[in-house]
Structure 1
Amino acid sequence: MLTMQYRIVLPTDYPMAIIERRIAERGHLTDGLPGLAFKTYLYAIKGEPGAAANAYAPFYLWRTAEGMRDFLSGPGFAALSESFGRPVVNVAVAWFGEWQGEAEAARHAVIERLPLSAVEPLAARRAAEEGWGRTRLRDENALGAASAFDPAEWSLTRIVLLREAPDNLGPGCELYRVGRVSLGAA
């Protein structure tokens, strides 16, 4: 599995209702997408807790590299690039990715980015991340979790899909609204 995210920072005065409408009108197009586990349509509104800027930042968990390849070279990503310019796409190797049957009910997501220690054995960290994910999913507020590492930068990205916004955020965490969750083909 792979994770993928791009983050498009929008002007402070950008009417975020445009993003909400875009998600409402086009979000269903990724339902049942081959190779996709899930896509979360994330966005942030400057001034809200955990949001440093207006942003559109979808996050994907892919079952297959071919699904990701086909999406990036397909009409959906071409339309996004036409509207906002071609964004930098961050890709990482998933160590954990699971979701509950009602993942579509998620309304918030927390993304955490951490450096990986150069001396920590990766096998041990992978096992720890699986434990982290399973623990997170025991929380009744959590509907999905994924953890992935980027071997180019030796960093770790975690995402947790939530019904309700958390009471507090840890350091290095970003809070997003979830406009929609699309589940890929089984």
Structure 2
Amino acid sequence: MYAMQYEIKLPNDYDMDIIRNRVKMNGFKTDNFPGLSLKAYLIKEKDHNNITNIYAPFYLWNDSEGMNKFIFDGYYDNIISSFGWRKISIGIKYEAKIEKNIKKSRYLVEEYIDIQPVSSIKKLDIKSSFECYENTLSEVIIYNPEKWKVVKFSFVENLPNKLNEHVSYYEILHISN
């Protein structure tokens, strides 16, 4: 499995209802997309936790064929025509637990860690490096060996009371799977 995300930073005074309506009108179009395990339509709104407005869809692909179809067969052109050229971040699945009730998730909590150089990564316990949240409905852990970063995405109904400095969150507008 492969994860993919692009981030679209929007002006601080951008009306995020435009994105909400875009997702309401089009989010269903990726339901049952070939090779797609899930897509979460995510936003951050400028507030005391977020310094700017962001639209940042997250995809989890079963294989590279589905991802390639989305990027190169015209579907990604909708993003280019609406928001301009975007860099796409790619990650490799370390672990994914996708539950049937994932669509009850209202937020996605994102936590990053760096993998520091070690003499052996055989016994590296990646999972224990992350927070566990009480109301997690599903979770995905990905890594990027080019950057030696690991990211845990926790799909939750309610935001945790406290988030550390390595954690951010998104509001989920729609989940396709």
C-alpha distance in structure 1 between counterparts of 2:9 and 2:159, whole Å: 21
Find the counterpart in structure 2 of residue 95 from structure 1. 94
Q: Which of 111, 124, 144 matches 2:138?
A: 144
Find the counterpart in structure 1 of residue 152 from structure 2. 158
Residues 41 and 122 (structure 1), Cα distance of their counterparts in 2 relative to 1, 3 Å cut: farther
SS at match of 2:22: helix
C-alpha distance in structure 2 between counterparts of 1:128 and 1:96, whole Å: 10
SS at match of 2:164: coil
SS at match of 1:119: coil
Q: Deviations over 1:67-117 (max 9, x none)?
A: 111111133311111100121100011101121111111110111121111
Q: Give the length in aligned residue pairs.
A: 177
- Stretches of structure 1 lacking an aligned partner (at least 5 in a row): none
Q: Check the 8 A contact 1:50/1:173 in 2, yes or no.
A: no
C-alpha distance in structure 1 between counterparts of 2:78 and 2:70, whole Å: 11
Q: Deviations over 1:7-55 (max 9, x none)?
A: 11100011100000011111001101111111110101001x5322100
Find the counterpart in structure 1 of residue 20 from structure 2. 20
Q: Check the 8 A contact 1:36/1:67 in 2, yes or no.
A: yes
Residues 120 and 101 (structure 1), Cα distance of their counterparts in 2 relative to 1, 3 Å cut: farther
C-alpha distance in structure 1 between counterparts of 2:5 and 2:91, whole Å: 9
Matches within 5 A, 1:75-90: 75-90=74-89
TM-align CA RMSD: 1.9
Find the counterpart in structure 2 of residue 30 from structure 1. 30
Find the counterpart in structure 1 of residue 49 from structure 2. 50
Residue 132 of structure 1, CA deviation: 7.3
Residues 112 and 120 (structure 1), Cα distance of their counterparts in 2 relative to 1, 3 Å cut: farther
Residues 53 and 121 (structure 1), Cα distance of their counterparts in 2 relative to 1, 3 Å cut: farther
C-alpha distance in structure 1 between counterparts of 2:8 and 2:119, whole Å: 33
Residue 173 of structure 1, CA deviation: 1.1
C-alpha distance in structure 2 between counterparts of 1:170 and 1:153, whole Å: 22
Q: Check the 8 A contact 1:50/1:169 in 2, yes or no.
A: no
Structure with greater helix share of residues:
1
SS at match of 1:33: coil
Q: Check the 8 A contact 1:147/1:158 in 2, yes or no.
A: yes
Are 2:165 and 1:171 equivalent residues in the alignment? yes
TM-score by length of 2: 0.92
Are 2:109 and 1:115 equivalent residues in the alignment? no
Amino acid at match of 1:55: I
> Kindly, what percent of the aligned residue pairs are identical?
28
